């Protein structure tokens, strides 16, 4: 088991391949025991990559030292959880495309908490959003619900801070690697989370955040939890992507209604029109989740 784990981590660090390529390799070699022996023609045949991409992948496969990487992560307190590990988040493992590897900083036990709720929303929320979140979320925090969000400005930051300020627990899922906190203004918050909560990413720590990683990150936010609460969202926003991910994963979607005069509430209100559970207090969430999970 240790060897397949190491080989998966090694694949995960190779340039040129992503989730689908690793899936294809596992389909042909479930134990990953022969990945170093296959010729380039084999990889060109099974992977959805150009010849140049395969060459870049093979260069990393045969030159990167997995032992050196693992030692470096151990020395810098970076945790690694692979899909083959017992501690892998059980709810996340159930989604269609669970991350092959998670890189962590903090308390790994939080990832398998019994009560997990995602909270996402606008980066530029209205002035009343904190009051709404306090009313709905503080009773949940006091009942040991762990709040999961994406460390973005606005609603995400408020959710993390609400959990911290009320002696609860929180999980931050970031795009990019653990060494590249985004946005920079949340670096101090990220440090606090690594000390008493947990910060996670599906990208190796040295990876710089890219625009395409954020929608991918959203499936982890929703996949970790029993349900997702949307606090505020414009008609086209990342929060609605997270809501869609939650629906596709068979999870509950909740929304706090907002003013029909606010652009940042249009998406949230339309979610409710489409069937999301309208939330006025914490009981609206508890009744739905306890009924279905």
The residue ranges of every structural domain in the chain are 2-75, 109-292
* Triad 216, 81, 240: Cα angle to 5°: 20
DSSP 143-171: TTPEEEE---TTHHHHHHHHHHHTT--EE
Chain segment 85-113, per-residue pLDDT in tens: 999 999 999 999 999 999 999 999 999 99
Residue 30 burial by Cβ neighbours in a 10 Å radius (0-12, 13-18, 19+): exposed
Cβ atoms of 255 and 270 within 8 Å: the answer is no
Name the fold adopted by 109-292.
Answer: Rossmann fold (3.40.50)
Dig out the tokens for 90 from the structure.
């059980």
d(CA 119, CA 34): 42
Number of H helices, E strands in the chain: 12, 9
Stated pTM of the model: 0.95
Residue 46 burial by Cβ neighbours in a 10 Å radius (0-12, 13-18, 19+): middle
Chain segment 142-179, per-residue pLDDT in tens: 999 999 999 999 999 999 999 999 999 999 999 999 99
The chain-wide mean pLDDT, for the chain, equals 94
Chain segment 240-269, per-residue pLDDT in tens: 889 999 999 999 999 999 888 888 889 999
């Amino acid at each position: 088991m240790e060897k397949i784990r190491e080989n998966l981590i090694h694949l995960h660090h190779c340039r040129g391949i992503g989730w689908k390529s690793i899936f294809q390799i596992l389909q042909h070699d479930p134990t990953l025991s022969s990945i170093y022996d296959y010729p380039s023609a084999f990889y060109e045949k099974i992977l959805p990559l150009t010849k140049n991409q395969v060459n870049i992948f093979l260069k990393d496969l045969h030159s990167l030292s997995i032992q050196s990487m693992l030692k470096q992560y151990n020395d810098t307190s970076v945790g690694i959880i692979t899909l083959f590990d017992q501690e892998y988040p059980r709810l996340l493992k159930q989604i269609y495309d669970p991350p092959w590897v998670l890189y962590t900083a903090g308390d790994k036990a939080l990832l398998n908490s019994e009560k997990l709720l995602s909270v996402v929303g606008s980066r530029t929320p209205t002035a009343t959003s904190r009051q709404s979140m306090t009313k709905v979320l503080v009773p949940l925090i006091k009942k040991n619900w762990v709040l999961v969000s994406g460390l973005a400005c606005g609603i995400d930051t408020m959710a993390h801070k609400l959990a911290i300020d009320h002696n609860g627990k929180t999980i931050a899922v970031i795009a990019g690697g653990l060494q590249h906190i985004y946005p920079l203004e949340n670096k101090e918050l990220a440090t606090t989370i690594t000390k008493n909560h947990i910060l996670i990413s599906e990208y190796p720590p040295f990876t710089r955040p890219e625009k395409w990683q954020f929608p991918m990150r959203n499936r982890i936010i929703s996949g970790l939890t029993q349900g997702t609460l949307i606090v505020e969202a414009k008609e086209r926003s990342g929060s609605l992507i997270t809501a869609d991910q939650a629906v596709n994963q068979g999870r509950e979607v909740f929304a706090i209604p907002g003013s029909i005069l606010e652009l940042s509430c249009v998406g949230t209100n339309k979610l409710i029109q489409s069937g999301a559970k309208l939330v006025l207090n914490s009981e609206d969430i508890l009744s739905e989740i306890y009924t279905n999970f």
